[in-house]
Chain A
Amino acid sequence: MATKLPKPDELSRIDYTPPKKCWMDTPAELKPGMYCWGAKAKNLNVVGFPNARDWSPAEEDWKLPKEWEGTVLEGIHDRLSKYRSFRLFMDVCVRCGACADKCHFYIGTGDPKNMPVLRAELLRSVYRKYFTVPGKLFGGLAGARELTTEVLKEWWYYFFQCTECRRCSVFCPYGIDTAEVTMMGRELLNLLGLNIDWIAGPVANCYKKGNHLGLEPHTIKSSMEFFLDDIDTLTGVKVEPTFNRKGAEILFVTPSVDLFADPGTYTAMGYLMLFHELGLDYTWSTYASEGGNFGVFTSNEMAKRLHYKIYAEAKRLGVKYIIGGECGHMWRLVNQYLDTWHGPADFMEEPVSPITGTKFENAKSTKMVHVIEFTADLIKNGKLKLDPTRNDHLNVTYHDSCNTARGMGLLDEPRYVLKNSCSNFHEMPENTIREQTFCCGSGTGLNASENMELRMRGGIPRANAVKHVHEKYGVNMLTNICAIDRATLKASMDYWVPDVSVAGVHELVGNALIMTGEKERTTDMRGEPLPGKEGDENETV
């Protein structure tokens, strides 16, 4: 018997309302700091995306086109017919919850709709209502719900709170790739002109000018000259890269942001120094001047259109193969989508390192070699003279970029290159690296500034692991091989672990590289005095 019986007045206060509402009945409340600005009409019009208009997510009226529901349902139908994976992912989930607490956004926010299973359920519930018999017959009892404006806004809010990092899919017993569910969700939103401008702008620029920033050829070339001056000042070596040179053996493509924003600029200088030292017969292109591809954050077709410029340029210049720089999603596209889009790039040759003779058999079909594999091969074959002590002022850890780690299994090469380029290297905890790496928190075009709260929350798990190695080993440099990481981890570190800087791996390679005819270096690329040269830096500015 209960020790305390309720008194009559207590009984009368019993609230019969269920304590919680079902997630379906809890509409999303769009909160500032958690979303990006809506795509501008001009940026959608450039590439012919439908329903382009200026709209604001903060307004009640999103200016949706007439009969938008039909457009979305037709869009779902098309994609179910086209992609077997999508139909499978809609049907197969048993809601076991293995993925639920693996998402960096969920870990950082505690918002249940950031559980990958529930984020996917936002779309699945509509799929059930219109495309399955139980859903049509039993509605909510079968986990189905109508497509309404509130549901659409919820989709928009949460599909742009997923960075498609695929950490959740590592833990799914069925291998459901929630990133692909987000991709489909974003494609459907894109049919209604509901993208974000941080994505739509770079897509438009890339389509018109060849890179996300809309840089024209002369701008790219003259910007590169700044780097050459800096390299000359640092090493006394004059580097003379070529642009759009027909007949070059190799085309080099890298994210354009590395040409303009620190700390990526130092990575770009690293490439220039390395290729010069090798005497590599390569060229940059001012047309295929972007490794990144924000098209993949809008639709499969747009990703294909943008990516093709790299191969069109390779064909025009007549190169034998392509080397790609440190970039994230570019590599996921090359490894997972390219062959489906275009088939083998047979107009080029199977990549062979001109320095070591190594055949890159993994790139036999795509003809595109990752620069970190290229460099690792050089080191393995003893072709580079590296002085790791030049990086002794750095205590280094490595962040596995989601796309290169989970999207192509590039786990050991960057570590091999780093360990040959620096003396102090410490791994972050096991469940935060390699296949289980945590996203920077700002991938898939979510690296705008207006959603800074979202980025900071999503960045908590990664920053927490960095903080651990910073406190335990004194780590002060977080390296990676992704341009978005370089841009966004800088902000994340600034907030969470201010004493840690961010660098691309080839920045450390450039610093360690002993170049033929170089003068004695006293600083690294950033102007920081090299160990033992602390008193000399003023003389070399």
Chain B
Amino acid sequence: MELKSILLQKKSVILKRWFDMVLETYPADSVSFFKNQKDKFANPVGAAIVEGIEKIFNELLAREMNPGTVGMFLDNIIRIRAVQDFTPAEALAFIFSLKKVVREEAWAEIQANGLTEELFAFESQIDDLSLISFNIYMKCREKIYEIKANEARDSTFRLLQRANLMTEIQEQGPDPEDVKLINIKRKEATK
């Protein structure tokens, strides 16, 4: 029997334990809310995690894991955890929790069927997930800083125009005579 067939059989118990382990990273008083509120609009964080880990798990069990697809599923969870109260390691530790769950839930069958090598291969897939996750996490954090910079720019854009402190050059028209100062009133500028 193949490891993936065993994992498929044990899918619901593995996902349940994996979900519990992810939730343990949140304040104890809030775990029941994240776990029990099933409306995805009332509980977007819990819903993103429960949906996300199932899709990631399915992708791991597929014959060939598609990095683009699994990246999208990882993004749905990591995007949330990247702005929550976690260090980078804490935010991504949930990926590795799956190793622990699989070993604990399927160890007997793995030993009985001599599937240690398959387990190593499966765990290597999880390592691949972690590398994809690092990239996603960094993109999220970079986005936060980009948004901060954009807010500063957007809130001053018109004021800078008004103060004649900035000009925009049109894409077309290489002749300097054709260079148009968008939105700058020349009469104002020459006053």
Contacts and interface: CB of A to CB of B under 8 A. Distances in A.
Chain A partners chain B: yes
Interface of A: 19-20, 31, 100-101, 106-112, 213, 219, 222-223, 225-226, 229-230, 257, 259-262, 265, 429, 431-432, 449, 452-453, 456-457, 460-461, 464-465, 468, 487, 490-491, 494-496, 538, 541
28 contacts: A100-B33, A101-B33, A101-B37, A109-B84, A109-B85, A110-B30, A110-B45, A112-B29, A226-B158, A260-B155, A260-B159, A261-B154, A261-B157, A431-B42, A432-B41, A449-B151, A449-B152, A452-B83, A453-B83, A453-B84, A453-B144, A460-B80, A461-B44, A464-B41, A464-B48, A491-B150, A495-B83, A495-B140
A109 B29 CA distance: 12
Contact of B183 (A106, A110, A229): A229
A306 to B, nearest CB: 20
B79 interface: yes
A452 B144 CA distance: 7
Given A110-B26, A110-B45, A260-B159, A491 B79 contact: no
Contacts of A19: 28
Contact of B154 (A111, A262, A460): A262
Contacts of A100: 33
Given A20-B28, A222-B162, A223-B158, 6 more contacts: A112-B27, A219-B162, A226-B183, A464-B40, A491-B151, A495-B143
Contacts of B57: none
Contacts of B155: 257, 260-261, 487
A456 B144 CA distance: 9
* Interface residues of chain A: helix, strand, loop or mixed (majority): helix
Contacts of A257: 155
Interface centre among B79, B158, B170 (most CB of A within 10 A): B158
Nearest to A265: B158
Contacts of B151: 449, 487, 491
A457 B81 CA distance: 9
Most buried by B among A31, A213, A431, A456: A456
A112 B162 CA distance: 47
A222 B33 contact: no
Contact of B158 (A109, A260, A490): A260
Given A449-B148, A491-B147, A494-B143, A111 B44 contact: no
Instruction: Classify the interface of chain B: helix, strand, loop or mixed.
Output: helix
Interface in B9-46: 26-30, 33-34, 37, 39-45
Interface residues of B, number: 42
Contacts of B80: 460
A541 B173 CA distance: 12
B45 A107 contact: yes
B33 A431 contact: no
B44 A460 contact: yes
A111 B162 contact: no
Contacts of A222: 162, 188
Contacts of B185: 225, 229
Contacts of B146: 494
Given A20-B28, A261-B154, A460 B45 contact: yes
Interface string B71-93: 00000000110011100000000
